[in-house]
């Protein structure tokens, strides 16, 4: 219909083809297929000029309205993509939301009053397509190609003093097999921990957790209550370690840490609101990660 409208407006197949970036035969075929579909002749063709039939005149009016509406629709999308308006949906864990995302977006929220933000807070990875999420701030080991890397947080094994004093000593990763392990495992995957240090190289241990959860904060409380050894982000438990409520296990071994990254739904033609939101998040993490990524009492940066 758009091709037919251009033929009418320009008065020739060749001129319409040039305007549309098509071949003349392709334009002629478009119009012919349209006539076959409608079972009506739209154009009177002669060697000298084209003219509209009665059916063609009636049909062209509708085509012109449709082409105009389509153009206006494209322009409205362009405005939405290029202006700071509309809704922005962000997925984030409960811990990352309060401690990192909200501080990161302080200026973004303040200076963009036309943006409506929706936070989807969950301690498991939300499907971006199903929930129409624009971007997700995540911490984990499953970063994919195309994700935007922000840095790495240290992770540590820890347990309460009461638990450690009542159980066999832990001198190497294999000693963990004799202990109760508390696992953050939102996807129900097997638990493999890979340890490394300069003296012994790399050791990989498969653990059978006594308790698993998709909520890291619950594991912290279970560890504080003496139910086993948990692997947690250092910056979630730094106060517990400093106060002695928790003790680090195998401090001479490195676990490798957790990546901090952003996953975006619009990797191509990213709307301006998503791009600016991402810029604020990247800038914030660049400013704070030197303070959080490598604490002195952690063996691994993560």
Distance from C-alpha of 34 to C-alpha of 302, rounded to nearest angstrom: 61
Domain boundaries, the chain: 2-82, 86-152+259-292, 155-256
pLDDT value at position 300? 33
Distance from C-alpha of 137 to C-alpha of 173, rounded to nearest angstrom: 31
Listed residue (201, 20, 294) closest to 12, CA to CA? 20
pLDDT tens series, the chain, 302 aa: 889 988 988 888 998 899 888 999 999 999 999 999 999 999 988 777 888 999 999 998 888 888 877 766 766 676 656 677 788 999 998 888 998 999 999 999 999 998 999 999 987 788 888 788 999 999 887 788 889 999 988 889 999 999 999 999 999 999 999 999 998 876 667 788 889 887 778 889 998 889 988 888 899 999 999 999 999 988 889 999 999 999 999 999 988 788 899 999 877 778 888 999 999 999 999 998 765 554 433 333 32
Taking phi over 0 as left and psi of -120 to 50 as alpha, with beta for the rest, 246 belongs to beta
> Are β-strands 155-159 and 247-249 bridged in parallel, bridged antiparallel, or unpaired?
antiparallel
pLDDT value at position 292? 53
Listed residue (264, 265, 250) closest to 297, CA to CA? 250
CATH of domain 2-82: 1.10.10.10
The answer to whether 2-82 and 86-152+259-292 have equal CATH topology is no
In eight-state DSSP terms, residue 122 is -
At the top level of CATH, the class of 86-152+259-292 is alpha beta
Which pTM was predicted? 0.62
At the top level of CATH, the class of 155-256 is alpha beta
Which tokens is 267 given? 């990797």
The CA R_g of the chain, rounded to the nearest whole Å, is 30
Distance from C-alpha of 122 to C-alpha of 90, rounded to nearest angstrom: 11
Distance from C-alpha of 184 to C-alpha of 211, rounded to nearest angstrom: 9
């Amino acid at each position: 219909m758009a091709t037919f409208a251009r033929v009418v407006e320009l008065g020739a197949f060749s001129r319409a083809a040039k305007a549309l970036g098509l071949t003349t035969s392709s334009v002629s075929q478009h119009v012919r297929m349209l006539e076959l579909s409608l079972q009506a002749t739209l154009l009177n063709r002669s060697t000298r000029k084209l003219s509209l039939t009665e059916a063609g005149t009636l049909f062209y009016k509708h085509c012109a309205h449709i082409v105009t509406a389509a153009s206006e629709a494209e322009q409205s999308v362009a405005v939405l993509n290029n202006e700071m308006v509309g809704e922005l949906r962000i997925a984030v864990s409960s811990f990352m939301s309060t401690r990192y995302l909200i501080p990161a977006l302080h200026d973004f929220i303040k200076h963009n009053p036309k943006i409506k933000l929706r936070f989807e807070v969950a301690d498991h990875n939300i499907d971006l397509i199903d929930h129409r999420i624009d971007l997700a701030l995540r911490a984990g080991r499953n970063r994919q190609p195309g994700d935007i890397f922000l840095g790495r947080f240290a992770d540590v094994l820890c347990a309460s003093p009461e638990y450690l004093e009542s159980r066999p000593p832990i001198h190497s990763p294999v000693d963990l097999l004799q202990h109760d392990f508390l696992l953050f495992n939102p996807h129900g995957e097997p638990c493999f921990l890979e340890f490394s240090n300069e003296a012994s190289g790399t050791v990989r241990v498969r653990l059978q957790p006594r308790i698993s959860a998709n909520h890291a904060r619950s594991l912290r409380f279970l560890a504080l209550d003496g139910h086993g050894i948990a692997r947690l982000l250092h910056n979630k438990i730094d106060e517990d370690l400093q106060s002695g409520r928790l003790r680090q296990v195998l401090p001479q071994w490195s676990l490798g840490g957790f990546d901090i990254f952003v996953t975006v739904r619009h990797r191509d033609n990213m709307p301006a609101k998503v791009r600016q939101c991402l810029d604020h998040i990247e800038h914030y993490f660049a400013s704070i990660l030197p303070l959080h990524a490598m604490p002195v009492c952690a063996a691994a940066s993560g």
